[in-house]
Amino acid sequence: MPVRTKKVDGYQVSTPGGVKAKHTTKAKAQRQANLLRAVEHGWKPTGATARDLRKKRKKKLYKKRK
């Protein structure tokens, strides 16, 4: 599934299955395209990095309260 980005009043990300993003910035369009390519190759989002960040923030806030 080829992912294409094109400049049309901002940037647009599209695949043969349809348009995935419209009116976005170049950086966000590139990130979206990378994400779509990763999912195509078997990557499954686990949320591990986001979960780790939440734990760190929570721990940091708890330390400040003491």
Q: Where are the domains of the chain?
A: 4-65
Give the model confidence (pLDDT) of 3-58 as tens digits: 999 999 999 999 999 999 999 999 999 999 999 999 999 988 888 887 888 888 88
Global pTM? Answer: 0.68
The C-alpha atoms of residue 44 and residue 65 are separated, in whole angstroms, by 37
Q: How far apart are CA 47 and CA 50, in angstroms?
A: 5
Left (φ > 0), alpha (ψ -120 to 50) or beta: where does 49 sit?
A: alpha
